[in-house]
Amino acid sequence: MTEPITVVVVDDHAIFRSGVKADLDGRVQVVGEAATVEEAIAVIRKHQPQVVLLDVHLPGGRGGGGAEVIAGCADVRQSTRFLALSVSDSAEDVVTVIRAGARGYVTKTISGADISDAVLRVASGDAVFSPRLAGFVLDAFGTAAVAAADSELDRLSARELEVMRLIARGYSYKEVAKELFISIKTVETHVSAVLRKLQLSSRHELTRWAAERRLL
Amino acid sequence: MRPPLLRSSDALIAGVCAGLAAHLGMSLRAARIGMVVLSLLGGAGVVLYGWLWLLVPTAEERRRGVATPAGLRLGAPALAAPETRPARSLRTPGGHEVLIGVGLLVVAAALVAQQLGVNVQWGWLLPVGVVALGAVLAWSQLDEARRARLMDHAGATRAEGLARLAAGLVLVMVGVLILVSGSLSWEFTWPALLAAAAVLGGVALVLAPWGLKFWKDLEAERAARVRETQRAEIAAHLHDSVLQTLALIQNRAASEQDVIRLARAQERELRRWLYVDAAERTGNLADRIKAVAAEVEEAYGHPVDVVSVGDTPITPRQDALVQATREAVVNAAKHAGGAISVYLEAGTAVSQVFVRDRGSGFDLDTVPEDRLGIRESVINRMQRHGGTARIRSSDSGTEVHLTMPEEEAGTNHD
């Protein structure tokens, strides 16, 4: 293991921030914290961390929450990656931060080891999908193979569908790889491809979810 | 203390003079002479007599508790006997008698004045009377709170405010009177009307910002009240649920299992309240599966995470699927423990449920034949209703895969 991954934790609950800090293991180093949109943008600009753990709902700014932080940090986006962290169950919240540019989404009930894994995965450029996010993806893109008339971005390949289904069923990337007889790297490639589609697709469900939050 | 003003039974006509005499402490003769003299003065005595006859109760009526007309108290408060009846104010039904009384008084006073040689201008008096009557009527329509608010808004509670209000009212009345009395010919009335309109327009312009601000204040107040209501509702809900649960958690801090169970149950309840509109609770398959998961989680204390994609109404087949899911989750909670993942994919043609645990797994063939749980409640139930159940188990966990196709024509599943 080389240098620890630098992380900024953005959440408006001090209790939760200290909890995350305590949970993260030695592979990760917290270099800054923020509680509001403005603070977050300032702290991220200052420290330029590798990963930002970002709450979906944040006070301040124009009311855009986590998505607004990502949009406000567009100039440092080359080096910094965002992992959304939320207790929210609603599709529009999650889809909004993902479409703003977050590399993944995990729920706040995630364990310490899991969250460190997720941070490392995001830092290395991969996407992190929780079962629930996979569920949202399947809801948005549909679970059936879609007619080829759709744009490439607007549908999932059969393999991507399989991967999403397994993640929704609670499989880890490793288990997905074993199940489908492919390498973990291939699983990660599929998930990243899905993430890209999630961010760029103009599917009605996705634009509707995003539009409901008045952003993007 | 003076005796109350009551009509006496010792009466020539209606006992008014006798009552007056007793009340004012003069002799009966003097009272009667006074009344006759007043009557000769342009009929004032007659009017007074009639008025008192109408308004003053007899001793008999008093005893029976007949309500004394309010005019008695208003016109002459000292005459009232408050210890014998509840005080009532202008708003009580007596208000009409007051109006009648005041009107009669004014008419009587005018008659007297005319008799005395004063040239009473009826043309003036009539409009004044009408305007005054209208004002009094309007005033009496308002209840106490509104009156107080109106006084407050008009600034009538302060001296200068009162003066301003009075001056304004007098001006308006004078204007109306000049118009109505006909002391100006119509030739002058049109320019006057135009001028009046111009003045009113000017006043409206001047007052417009104030009116706008008033309107905005009103809107803001209404919005604030709505927010306050919402806040109160949220506070009540949080108190009933979250705070109670936190208290329970503090009490049971020693038992990890209890704390986890309470926290999970509260989380689920709060999520449901926050993110699911009451209208969206459909009772469809996804809701039923979530309810089942919640129930098992409650009973066994192991977290059960449900991810659902799509939804479909409940049919007898879907009902069987829900029951089988329940058994599978119970089985996982009992034998594997730890976190359990439930994934529901409901489509138009087929609905699938995956129940996954991370226990040490088991071999279906080694499960005794008589164990009802998995074999009867899950596999056989699914098959009876036209579905399938597959169980895959390894040392890294068990997954139960339930598939239920939609009803096909001609299939007899029971």
Most confident listed range (A142-151, B15-24, B239-248, B347-356): B347-356
Mean pLDDT (chain A, rounded): 82
Q: Which of A109, A143, A169 is facing B354, going by the closest CB pair?
A: A169
Q: How confident is the model at residue A183 (pLDDT cuts 50, 70, 90)?
A: very high
pLDDT for res A177:
92
Q: What is the nearest CA distance from B271 to chain A, expressed in angstroms?
A: 7
Q: Which of A132, A134, A169 is facing B356, going by the closest CB pair?
A: A169
Q: Averaged over B252-281, what is the pLDDT?
A: 77
| Pick from A141-150, A198-207, B235-244, B310-319: least confident | A141-150
pLDDT for res B413:
44
Residue A216 has pLDDT above 60, yes or no: no
Q: Which of B339, B343, B396 is facing A168, going by the closest CB pair?
A: B343
Question: B276, B309, B394: which to substitute to probe chain A, counting the most A Cβ within 10 Å?
Answer: B309
| Pick from A1-15, A45-59, B183-197, B240-254: least confident | B183-197
Query: Could you give the CA distance from residue B97 to residue B104 in angstroms, rounded to a whole number?
Result: 10
Q: Averaged over A149-158, what is the pLDDT?
A: 70
Give B-chain residues touching A145 at CB under 8 angstroms: none
A89 and B275 within 8 Å at the Cβ level: the answer is yes
Q: Averaged over A115-119, what is the pLDDT?
A: 88
Residue B77 has pLDDT above 90, yes or no: no
Residue B214 has pLDDT above 80, yes or no: yes
Q: What is the nearest CA distance from B341 to chain A, expressed in angstroms?
A: 6
Q: Which of A87, A143, A169 is facing B310, going by the closest CB pair?
A: A143
Six-digit token string for B368: 């005794």
Residue A110 has pLDDT above 60, yes or no: yes
Residue A73 has pLDDT above 60, yes or no: yes
Q: Which of the pair, A82 or B43, is modelled with greater confidence?
A: A82
Q: How many other β-carbons are positioned within 10 Å of the β-carbon of residue B257?
A: 11
Q: Averaged over B333-359, what is the pLDDT?
A: 85
Q: Averaged over B343-369, what is the pLDDT?
A: 79
pLDDT for res B182:
60
Question: B343, B348, B401, B402: which to substitute to probe chain A, counting the most A Cβ within 10 Å?
Answer: B343
pLDDT in tens, B357-376: 887 777 666 666 555 567 77
Q: What percent of chain B has pLDDT over 70?
A: 68
Q: How confident is the model at residue B246 (pLDDT cuts 50, 70, 90)?
A: confident
Q: Which of the pair, B387 or B56, is modelled with greater confidence?
A: B387
CB of B186 less than 8 A from some CB of A: no
A143 and B354 within 8 Å at the Cβ level: the answer is no
| Pick from A53-62, B74-83, B102-111, B203-212: least confident | B74-83
CB of B354 less than 8 A from some CB of A: yes
| Pick from A190-199, B72-81, B134-143: least confident | B72-81
pLDDT for res A145:
55
CB of A131 less than 8 A from some CB of B: yes
φ and ψ of B193, to 5 deg: -60, -45
Residues near B391 by Cβ (< 8 Å), separated by ≥ 6? B364, B374, B378, B379, B398, B399, B400, B401
B396 and A131 within 8 Å at the Cβ level: the answer is no
Mean pLDDT (chain B, rounded): 75
Q: Which of A131, A143, A175 is facing B305, going by the closest CB pair?
A: A131
A165 and B308 within 8 Å at the Cβ level: the answer is no
Residue A187 has pLDDT above 80, yes or no: yes
Q: How many CB pairs under 8 A join A and B?
A: 47
Residue B72 has pLDDT above 60, yes or no: no
Q: What is the nearest CA distance from A5 to chain B, expressed in angstroms?
A: 29
Q: Which residue has tokens 């941070």?
A: A119
pLDDT for res B342:
92
Q: Which of the pair, B327 or B376, is modelled with greater confidence?
A: B327
Residue B84 has pLDDT above 50, yes or no: no
pLDDT for res A186:
92
Give B-chain residues touching A168 at CB under 8 angstroms: 307, 309, 343
Q: Which residue has tokens 């596999």?
A: B379
pLDDT for res B153:
65
B341 and A138 within 8 Å at the Cβ level: the answer is no
Q: Averaged over B199-223, what is the pLDDT?
A: 85
pLDDT for res B295:
84
Q: How many other β-carbons are positioned within 10 Å of the β-carbon of residue B50?
A: 15
Q: Which of the pair, B273 or A193, is modelled with greater confidence?
A: A193
pLDDT for res B128:
65
| Pick from B19-23, B171-175, B399-403: least confident | B171-175
| Pick from A105-109, B75-79, B250-254, B375-379: least confident | B75-79
Residue B76 has pLDDT above 50, yes or no: no
pLDDT for res A152:
67
pLDDT in tens, B86-145: 444 444 456 667 777 877 887 788 788 877 777 766 666 666 666 666 666 666 655 566
Query: Could you give the CA distance from residue B57 to residue B63 in angstroms, rounded to a whole number?
Result: 10
Residue A41 has pLDDT above 70, yes or no: yes
Q: Averaged over B224-234, what is the pLDDT?
A: 87
Residue A65 has pLDDT above 90, yes or no: no
Q: Which of B303, B309, B341 is facing A143, going by the closest CB pair?
A: B309
Q: Averaged over B165-184, what is the pLDDT?
A: 67
Q: What percent of chain B has pLDDT over 90?
A: 4
Q: Which of the pair, B414 or B229, is modelled with greater confidence?
A: B229
A135 and B308 within 8 Å at the Cβ level: the answer is yes
Residues 97-116 of A with CB under 8 A from B: 109
A131 and B345 within 8 Å at the Cβ level: the answer is no
Residue B385 has pLDDT above 60, yes or no: yes
Q: Averaged over A103-109, what is the pLDDT?
A: 83
pTM of this structure: 0.58
Residues 318-347 of B with CB under 8 A from A: 339, 341, 343, 345, 347
In terms of phi and psi (left: phi > 0; alpha: psi -120 to 50; beta: otherwise), the region of A106 is beta
Residue B299 has pLDDT above 90, yes or no: no
Give B-chain residues touching A134 at CB under 8 angstroms: 307
For B343, which residue in chain A has the nearest alpha carbon? A169
Element (H, E) at A81: strand A81-86
Cα A177-A180-A182 angle, rounded to 5 deg: 55
Most confident listed range (A68-72, A177-181, B96-100): A177-181
